[in-house]
Structure 1
Amino acid sequence: MQDHENIDRLKWKTLDSTYLFKENWFTVRKDKCQRADGKIIDPYYVFEFPEWVTALAVTADNKVLMVRQYRHALGEVGLELPGGCVDDTDENYEDAIRRELLEETGYAFESAHYLGKISANPSTNSNLMHMFVATGGQKIKDQDLDDNEQIDVLTLSFEELNTLIEEKRIAQAMHISTILYGLRYLGKLTIHP
């Protein structure tokens, strides 16, 4: 049980915000904050990103879809789950993940179950990743990628996915979280220490 009085004493009040950089995919602001005990925290930097969605996507023939793409910040080609940013045109997070799955993989899914939300870094990032399990996937079209995207789609067995996890070959931490929550939801969490 949470003690709301003790929780509230930990919250900060924002006294001032100044945007240092503002672009569609990355915004940085500098806040001046005050703790409940009166101490001023200045500056405190916050990175604003759009909300994100991702899914453990399972095809109708019980294969998991993964994507392989180059990630410039790390300078590596990595294995990830399909997903991306929530657009202004998406009515809700489920619409966003269905759109992202279709664009990146060409697959449409019978169901998309919401698993919850996580944060990449709640200390600095203002956004959340919304996690799903999508099941009953059927390929219905070719990929429809953004100009800067180059994505290979892989279909893996659950055994192959578990091997990737055990060998620590998936670097995207938020996607590992989604995979583990998704496997647990599907009753397929079989990772061994």
Structure 2
Amino acid sequence: MTDDKDKQWTVLESEYLIRRPWLTARRDWVRLPNGVENNEYYVLEYPDWVNVIALTEDGKFIMERQYRHGLRWTGYEICAGACEEGETPLESAQRELHEETGFGGGEWTHLMTISPNTSSVNNQCHCFVARGVKRVSAPHQEATEDISVHFLTVDEVRSLLLHNEIKQALMLAPLWRYFAEHHLW
């Protein structure tokens, strides 16, 4: 086994190109271990993200449908959002589920932590499973959120997965893992 430190790049210079609440871009000038320099390596900075595979007390998957402007596409997703400062990933996941769907409680487990893109993005996505959640209030969606909440069976979610009707990779990874681990094929 090799030491990963011998693979690390040296940052010679760093410059922020834009710093906005939902877009922070940095240009690094880096030196690779072999001596090659790249003065235009771009990194996008984000807070960590969370997503939740939420199952109601009767075993239905809580899915959301919303428009995504990047692809100009409306589709199904699991609950997701950003970690806010001072929150643990679990607290963020619980808050997002409550805000977006009005559901809470249940038994929560951490499923996995994944990277949106290890080469150019600095954050991670913490994925949770929440079993036995129930409605605790009405949703409290932000003004920019237009989310409809749906309750789908295992068969319906499986069909979405098999027919490429969920596009977000950070949601597909935990869903596929959940289905594999629970032998839902």
Shift of 1:79: 0.9
The percent of aligned pairs where both chains have the same amino acid is 32
Q: 1:36: how far off?
A: 1.4
1:53-72 map, 5 Å: 53-72=50-69
Question: Are 2:184 and 1:189 aligned?
Answer: yes
- Report the CA distance between 1:89 and its aligned residue: 4.1
Aligned equivalent of 2:78, options 67, 76, 81: 81
**Structure 1: segments with no counterpart, 5+ residues:** none
Contact kept in structure 2, 1:25 and 1:50, CA below 8 Å: no
1:3 is aligned to: 2
- Report what 1:52 is aligned to: 49
The answer for unaligned runs of 5 or more in structure 2 is none
Query: Do 2:63 and 2:76's aligned partners in 1 also have CA atoms closer than 8 Å?
Result: yes
Residue among 132, 138, 158 paired with 2:154: 158
Contact 2:154 2:184 in 1 (8 A): no
Determine the C-alpha separation between the residues in 2 that align with 1:167 and 1:111: 30
* Matching of residues 31-180 of structure 1 within 5 Å: 31-90=28-87, 92-180=88-176
**Distance in 1 between residues matched to 2:89 and 2:48, nearest whole Å:** 9
- 2:118, 2:108 → 1: CA distance? 26
TM-score by length of 1: 0.92
Kept after mapping to 2: 8 A contact 1:79/1:169: yes
Number of matched pairs: 185
**Mapped partners of 2:117, 2:67: distance in 1:** 22
Tell whether the 8 Å contact from 2:112 to 2:174 is kept in structure 1 after alignment. Answer: no
1:20 to 13, 17, 21: 17
- In the alignment, the residues of structure 2 paired with residue 98 and residue 67 of structure 1 have an alpha-carbon distance, to the nearest angstrom, of 15
Please give the root-mean-square deviation of Cα atoms over the aligned residues, in Å.
1.2
- TM-aligned CA distance change 1:189 to 1:41, over 3 Å: farther
Spell out, residue by residue over 1:123-151, the C-alpha distance to the aligned partner (whole angstroms, 9 max, x if none). 11111111111111101111101110010
TM-score by length of 2: 0.95
1:24 CA drift (Å): 1.3
Whether the 8 Å CA contact 1:19–1:27 is kept in 2: the answer is yes
Q: Secondary structure at 1:9's aligned position in 2?
A: helix
AA partner of residue 84 (structure 1)? G
CA contact (8 A) 1:180 1:189 kept: no
Q: Which amino acid aligns with 2:21?
A: N
Q: Distance in 2 between matches of 1:39 and 1:141?
A: 56
Q: 8 Å contact 2:76–2:165 — kept in the other structure?
A: yes
